[in-house]
Amino acid sequence: MKQPALLLSIFLFLFVHQLFAQYYDAISIDRPGQSNTYTTVKKMRLQIESGFSYISDKNFPENPDLERIKMQVAATTFRFGLTKKFEVRLGSQFAYQRDKRLQVKNSISSIEGVTLGAKFRALESKDFVPDGAFLINVQLPVGSKELISDKVEPAAMFIGSHPLSEAARLEYNLGLTYRDADFMEYFYSMVLSVSFSEQTSAFIEVAAANPEKGNSNQVFDFGLSLLMTRTFIADVYGGKGLNKYGPDWFISFGGGIRLPR
């Protein structure tokens, strides 16, 4: 009896150890959703995040006959950890946009900007102090002027995250962008995320962009993430506009991978 019990104990130990090791130090990415996370990429590691988005929009109060479909393909961000708390970033995406107005269709496809940035992990959760990071981005005018500004657009953001329990977090982003070398646009979002297991999590989110010139764009979305291994994660999310200037609906899927040294 002792030998089978010993073998069973060894098997259970190895199984639990392997299960823990599989998801220990798991990847964290700046998607899904509109918000960014407070985490940074591990030192001297490269992380690649990419996705596809489909957006349907008929909400143009000044132009009620306009219907727009937009697809963002290979929206990709390369993130590289220089230190334990500091990373640099490079991102871009390819966009296809089709407008339909009174049976007349026009379409355009182009790169939709190139973004250079850096993120610094500044705070760690303790009592009422949140986990926090600062994100600085600069969008370069690469691509069609019909899709992006022809000016360099700098942006800054604070990312905060409060643990509510071992399985839930309340996160928020507060940011601003200097648009068209002319006016400020303010961004905010709030996310409630819940982990159902070490592999599966879900979130709900509200976000808004409020420019000093133009109209506010407010959205609601929700989604799921599935951790396939500790270095690879997949996700899907969707949502809709909350005001008359937000999109009718949108959906996105993608994921991220952290490469070995």
Q: Provide the pLDDT for residue 127.
A: 84
Q: Which domain holds residue 243?
A: 26-258
The model's confidence at residue 3, banded by pLDDT at 50, 70 and 90, is: low
Tell me the pLDDT tens digit for each residue of 107-127. Answer: 999 999 999 999 999 999 888
Would residue 78 count as lying in a domain? yes
Q: What is the DSSP string of 38-85?
A: S--PPBT-EEEEEEEEEEEE---TT-TTEEEEEEEEEEEEEEEESSSS
Q: What is the pLDDT of residues 169-224, one digit of tens each?
A: 999 999 999 999 899 999 999 999 999 998 999 999 999 999 999 889 999 999 99
On whether residue 17 sits in a domain, the answer given is: no
pLDDT value at residue 25: 77
CB within 8 A of 195, min separation 6: which ones?
167, 168, 201
Question: Which is nearest to 170 in space by CA: 207, 210, 209, 131?
Answer: 131
Distance CA 98, CA 104 (A): 10
Please check the confidence at residue 148 and state whether its pLDDT lies above 50. yes
Query: Distance (Å, rounded) from C-alpha 143 to C-alpha 150?
Result: 9
User: Once rounded to an integer, what is the mean pLDDT over residues 4-20?
Assistant: 49
15 has pLDDT over 50? no
- pLDDT, residue 16, reads 43
**How far, in Å, CA of 50 to CA of 126, rounded?**
32
Query: What pLDDT score does 23 carry?
Result: 53
Does pTM surpass 0.95?
no
Instruction: Give the integer Cα–Cα distance in Å for 39 and 37.
Output: 6
Q: Is the pLDDT of residue 6 over 70?
A: no
Dist CA 249 CA 219 (whole Å)? 9
Q: Pull the structure tokens for residue 71.
A: 């697809």
In a domain, 44, yes or no: yes
pLDDT in tens, 32-88: 899 999 999 999 999 999 999 999 999 888 888 899 999 999 999 999 999 999 999
DSSP E strands: which ranges in the chain? 46-57, 66-81, 86-101, 104-123, 131-143, 153-163, 168-179, 183-195, 200-211, 217-229, 232-241, 249-258
Q: CA 256 to CA 26: how far, in whole Å?
A: 11
Number of domains in the chain: 1
Distance CA 95, CA 97 (A): 6
Question: Does residue 10 form part of some domain?
Answer: no
Structure tokens at 38: 């407070």
What CATH code is carried by the domain that includes residue 88?
A: 2.40.128.130
Residue 21 lies in a domain: no
pLDDT of residue 79: 98
Note whether residue 6 is domain-resident: no
* Residue 38 in domain: yes
